[in-house]
Amino acid sequence: MTETAARVPVDGVAVTAIGVAIIRARESERDDRLYDDPQAKDFVAAARKGFDPERWARMEALADQFYDGRTIGVRLVDERFREAIEAGCGQIVLLGAGLDTRAYRLDLPPTLHVYEIDLPELFAFKEPVLAATAATPTCHRHVVIADLRENWRKTLLDIGFDPTVPTCWVDEGSLGYLNQDWNRQVVLTLTELSAPASRFGAGRMTIDPESPRYRELRRLVSGDDTPQPPAPTHTPDSDIEHWLNTIGWTTEFRSWNDMTAHLPRPTTPLDPRIGTIAAIRR
């Protein structure tokens, strides 16, 4: 077994990043792809070596179940990056970066600083794979090894984050693995660190935690041996929008249907209350 394979996270929250890499690799192979992620296939090849065949088959089957919505979500965040840069954001912070490669694949400006926050076991796998590909980021990329439940603020500042520069904060689902109190603490912290004109997006969605795919996801994350308690059901409401307005953000709701209407791929219309609360720091 190679050193990279020995570092593969086969359970825990970090394993979800491998599932997303499977999705991105599959999308990149399509003739009608919504984006191209050359490094995704390298992550998938390296991760496969750390899984037994049965567990890997389950990972691939679960990726199939989440594919349609998740791959479109990747494209929408790509667009959010470009929108933030055009609006003058000089920093982008990924909250739970996973195996994200936008610093490499989006041709970001060399003046931009991208900060990737995630757990040590995630970067223990990610960095050797990136090094083996000889990939080079087009912007300033910073690895921030931190747990969002702990003092990630100090770690981010110590690495060079500048709270006087407008920043785009990106969450692609990591906050869903924290309880509501931790979610609010993370948002309060990033609010304190946000200069005027900074940006943040909060999802408004519905999730059935007892659906087969979410039960299987929890089993894979827990390693099958220690089942996690059911995740809370997310229902569309305006509480988060009201709260963001009270702590210094101006918000605008963007429905999933409106955000995906321009894409060259049919999408299933969803409840019009489902989408993203786009927030700009006052």
Domain ranges for the chain:
3-281
Question: Where does residue 29 rank: exposed (0-12), middle (13-18), buried (19+ CB within 10 A)?
Answer: exposed
Q: 70, 196, 170, 195: which is closest to 117 by C-alpha? A: 170
* CATH class of the 3-281 domain in this structure: alpha beta
Render each residue's pLDDT in the chain as its tens digit; 282 residues. Answer: 344 444 899 888 889 999 999 999 999 999 999 999 999 999 999 999 999 999 999 999 999 999 999 999 999 999 999 999 999 999 999 999 999 999 999 999 999 999 999 999 999 999 999 999 988 999 999 999 999 999 999 999 999 999 999 999 999 988 866 567 888 999 999 999 999 999 999 888 877 878 899 889 988 888 876 555 444 445 555 588 999 999 999 999 999 999 999 999 989 899 999 999 999 999
CA distance linking residue 15 with residue 277, whole number of Å: 27
Task: Catalogue the E-assigned strands of the chain.
Answer: 91-95, 113-118, 140-145, 167-170, 199-204, 249-255, 275-281
